[in-house]
Chains A and B, each alone.
Chain A
Amino acid sequence: MTDMFPQQIDVALSVNGEAVEARVPAGRHLIDFLRLDLGLTGAHAGCEHGVCGACTVRVDGRSVRGCLMLAAQAHGAEVWTVEGLSETGEIADLQEAFVARNALQCGFCTPGMLVAAQELVASAPAPTREQIRERLSGNYCRCTGYEAIIDAVEAVAQARAGGAAR
């Protein structure tokens, strides 16, 4: 029984560019593994069933709900959180635009929002405001009413597309 359904699972993965090896409880969610075991508290658990997006992190290049994925499933994966993306400077322009436009208030949803926004602007070179709204609709923000977030993401998308000075 315990051999077939082990309680603890050994995982080896890359988190923010660093190799991590750990023995995790089989039921440990990725978000809890990141927050509790690795101390990466940037992403938050907001609803625990994949609706709010506060726990969004990047796994193997795609944004993923940290509350819907088990740590065990991340074996062999490359995981990036807001901490790592800040460190490498990959989202520095988004972060600057969020400050410039006041695109956050309490900040709780922001790390997840940034990961989702980065996936959007990296994949769609010149999204319309409607496309930005649609793509970010997987991330709840209860404070800003979204408008400033849309503004910030639009500004970064335009700048990255070389349209900043248009």
Chain B
Amino acid sequence: MNKQMTGIGASSKRREDVRFLTGKGQYTDDINRHGQLYAHFVRSEVAHGKITKLDASAAAAAPGVAHVFTSKDFEGVGGVPCGWLITDKNGEPMKEPKHPILAEGKVRHVGDPIAVVVAETLAQARDAAELIDLEIEELPAVIDMREALKGGVAVHDEAPDNLCYDWEFVAENKAAVDEAIARAAHVTTLELVNNRLVANPMEPRCAIGEYDRAGDQHTLYTTSQNPHVIRLLMGAFVLGIPEHKLRVVAPDVGGGFGTKIYHYAEEAFVTFAAKKLNKPVKWTASRSEAFMSDAQGRDHVTKVELALDADNNFTALRCLTHANMGAYLSTFAPCIPTWLHGTLLAGNYRTPLIFTNVKAVFTNTVPVDAYRGAGRPEATYQLERVIDKAARELGVSPIALRKQNFIKPDQFPYQTPVAVVYDTGDYDATMDKVVEMADLAGFDARKAEAKSRGKLRGLGFAHYIEACGIAPSSLVGALGARAGLYEAATVRVNPTGSVSVFTGSHSHGQGHETTFAQVVSDMLGIPEDQIDIVHGDTNRVPFGMGTYGSRSLAVGGSAIVKSVEKIVSKARKIAAHLLEASEADITFEDGQFKVAGTDRAKAFGEIALAAYVPHQYPIEEIEPGLEETSFYDPKNFTYPSGGYACEVEVDPETGVVKVCAFHAADDFGNLVNPMIVEGQIHGGVAQGIGQAMLEHCTFDADGQPQAGSYMDYAMPRAADMPMVNIDSSCVTPCTHNPLGVKGCGEAGAIGSPPAFVNAVIDALAERGVTHIDMPLTPQAVWKAIHGASAVAAE
């Protein structure tokens, strides 16, 4: 195979690696401002309660303390806003209670901030916090969603039954779905939990506020995936700072996975306090604070029913879900179980009738929002689990059942019954590929060999689709988004021909500085090292929406392409003038503008210089300079898809599951950097296997977190992970963006949990086990084996 060495399609080595590998990365906590003060948050130790006494006078008088902030300091200041409005099935807007910066009379989850001590050192702030005279009258807490909906204890007075919204989609299909299920030859029902997770990027959140009195300028350094979104939300809705007076910088960010999308109270706090105290104020989360204050992920309880006709065609799907919002609405929380979940319930299948009801519930727990995949993993998990269960009930191959019901390549564009239109795909190809990779033919022998050792071996499959490239602004606007979801890019050609690209996308591990440079290099025919990618600073980059939902290349990359196209178009005009030829006769290839059919040429760098030194220049026709800005708003989502296979061995004596092999066959459309794509799959699969096997964020009946540190929240370590076998050779390019790319950031986390669980159930089928809720810990597996055996023995 002829591997490309540069540009689009090459596995260019990541330029950002050098600074990270030598300790020169600049993460927010690596920044220290002269004279900075330290903030320590006093957080609720109970899940629900009334603040009956809050006297900070002794703390305020303690050594080094500059000020102790309580909600009184924030009178007239807005709460943390929610960015997405969902309309209830009755046409009412969702319940949207205020989320104050600091608790106003009531605390609603363990970790809810009550007061902040700001002092010269962190130790002084912590010591002073002990002097705060705080009394809280504890109230009963609501933790379980179904219990919460019964009312009696309300997290917010505005929602006495704790219902944020009751959403139906597609409402007009409800009766038809009910009827199809009633008439079906077979209905498979599955009740399952999509377990609550803590995103846990390795870098804890951090924020530094700074205020310049001379210019009335605020600066916020923060661990964010989208600095402009923070500037807009915090400036306009919380603190009332106009955007030209507010700069938000998100420097190197140590992983996000969704949880660094949102605007957090701590960001508003340090910005506010820096002005009040006229000194920089810094806050860095401890890991236990991260467990109490970072928005968490998933937490759906679902009943799914799949109806099939006598020929095993899917005829209808009904999904009833309770989605936990936690105690407050995080920035994008309401749209996760609705528009990012309901619209993906067709999966890769031709199911003609789909209905879902989602009840979003307030509980006295940490807020929940998007985590890697966000709604799409929940949709895929229930679909791929219920299909496997149906295959087992019907005695047919789960692969054949999937393929029979797949949307076929000649059916694209495909209008699903749940609003979205898939532009392209070839699900048979990725399914066939993963079956081949998994060596299905040799599985029986491997199973028999495992049995001889007393182990139960299982092979599970899943096929996912996701909607990425978020998102067409007009569409999401109609669905309740309070923002547009385009992306922006400025391409600045410097006078001597190097290029600075200013992107609204944000890189926090994705390798944009390399990938985006590859795209520009390919288009302009100049070396990658002549191109610099700038991101993460609202004073430097145009208004952009940031990075999430696997959107950066599909949307942010497309904005860069648009700007480069404008650059080439203008450069061609300049070249035509300098070469004294008609513009139509100018070709551009490998960085050279040529008069077609002649040897007369100008290099790209010469054109750049002419644009900035316009001595012999068509000044009447074109402006000097060579810099273009574009905003790209996608026409549709992109729809990556893929087949995943997982092979496991279960020790029935201990319940321990070993992942023996994992295979991923994805269709991401065109690839710009295959090496980086592979890394995204590896990481996504690790998080998916983490969810399926290890990770669980639970609360006791009083709302105390049972996983509050790395000692009691298990994430995959090196020894837990199998080899992951990856193939991205099945390519159906996206039809509506210029690069034909689909996005790859979340796929691994979406496809792997159902593949893993299906594998374990396959292994345990002979013991009568049909379902185990994630995570499949040894204890859960052992209980399932022995519970099922006990039932079988009766």
Contacts and interface: CB of A to CB of B under 8 A. Distances in A.
Among B30, B286, B718, find the residue whose CB has the most chain A CB atoms closer than 10 A.
B718
28 contacts: A36-B32, A40-B23, A41-B23, A41-B25, A42-B22, A42-B23, A44-B27, A44-B203, A49-B287, A51-B710, A102-B678, A105-B509, A105-B683, A106-B20, A107-B17, A107-B20, A108-B25, A108-B201, A111-B20, A111-B21, A111-B23, A140-B202, A142-B715, A145-B682, A145-B724, A146-B686, A147-B724, A148-B678
Contacts of A82: 21-23
Contacts of A127: none
Interface string A100-135: 101011111111001000000000000000101110
A99 B719 contact: no
A49 B286 CA distance: 10
B581 interface: no
Interface stretch (B252-260, B389-397, B405-413, B625-633): B252-260
Contact of A145 (B22, B203, B675, B685): B685
A106 B203 contact: yes
B98 interface: no
A25 B683 CA distance: 39
Nearest to B673: A102
A105 B718 contact: no
B166 to A, nearest CB: 35
Among B123, B252, B255, B678, find the residue whose CB has the most chain A CB atoms closer than 10 A.
B255
B257 A99 contact: no
A9 B287 CA distance: 27
Interface in B332-368: none
A156 interface: no
B216 interface: no
Interface of A: 25, 27, 35-36, 40-49, 51-52, 54, 81-83, 86, 95, 98-100, 102, 104-111, 114, 130, 132-134, 136-150
B747 to A, nearest CB: 13
Given A48-B287, A49-B710, A99-B13, A140 B682 contact: no
B748 to A, nearest CB: 8
A134 B719 contact: yes
Contact of B255 (A105, A132, A133): A105
Contacts of B320: none
Given A132-B718, A142-B202, A143-B509, A98 B21 contact: yes
B721 interface: yes
Interface string B722-757: 011000000000000000000000001000000000
B719 A147 contact: no
Contacts of B68: none
Contacts of B687: 142
Nearest to B710: A51
Among B23, B30, B678, find the residue whose CB has the most chain A CB atoms closer than 10 A.
B23
Contacts of B715: 140, 142
Contacts of B16: 107
Nearest to B723: A147
Among A114, A133, A142, A146, find the residue whose CB has the most chain B CB atoms closer than 10 A.
A142
B717 interface: yes
B651 to A, nearest CB: 18
A86 B509 contact: no
Sorted from nearest, which 7 A-B pairs have the closest CB atoms? Answer: A42-B23, A107-B20, A108-B254, A106-B509, A145-B686, A145-B682, A105-B509
B676 interface: yes
B709 interface: yes
Contacts of B711: 49, 51
B679 A142 contact: no
Given A51-B710, A106-B254, A137-B717, A46 B22 contact: no
B200 interface: yes
B21 A99 contact: yes
B111 interface: no
Contacts, number: 175
Nearest to B20: A107
Contact of B22 (A25, A83, A146, A148): A83
B305 interface: no
Give the dominant DSSP class at A's interface. loop
Nearest to B17: A99
Contacts of A98: 17, 21
B21 A114 contact: yes
Interface in B227-286: 252-255, 257, 286
Nearest to B715: A140
Contacts of B26: 41
A106 B223 CA distance: 12
A141 B17 contact: no
Contacts of B723: 147
B252 to A, nearest CB: 7
B49 interface: no
B22 A106 contact: no
Among B21, B686, B709, B716, find the residue whose CB has the most chain A CB atoms closer than 10 A.
B21
A108 B123 contact: no
Interface string B656-687: 00000000000000000001101100111111
Given A102-B675, A147-B724, A108 B719 contact: no
A119 to B, nearest CB: 15
A19 to B, nearest CB: 20
B510 interface: yes
A136 B16 CA distance: 23
B29 interface: yes
A95 B18 CA distance: 8
Given A108-B255, A147-B682, A136 B718 contact: yes
B30 A41 contact: yes
Given A104-B21, A134-B718, A148-B678, 18 more contacts: A41-B23, A42-B24, A43-B23, A44-B202, A45-B29, A47-B287, A99-B21, A100-B13, A102-B13, A106-B202, A108-B255, A111-B20, A114-B21, A140-B710, A142-B686, A143-B509, A145-B721, A148-B682
B717 A109 contact: no
A76 B768 CA distance: 63
Among B286, B710, B717, find the residue whose CB has the most chain A CB atoms closer than 10 A.
B717
Contact of A95 (B21, B510, B716): B21
A130 B462 CA distance: 28
Contacts of A35: 30
Contacts of B29: 41, 44-45
B508 interface: yes
Nearest to A84: B23
Contact of A99 (B14, B24, B255): B14
B557 interface: no
A125 B255 CA distance: 33
B721 A146 contact: yes
B778 interface: no
Interface string B677-703: 011001111110000000000000000
Contact of A108 (B27, B682, B710): B27
Contacts of A136: 718
Contacts of B682: 144-148
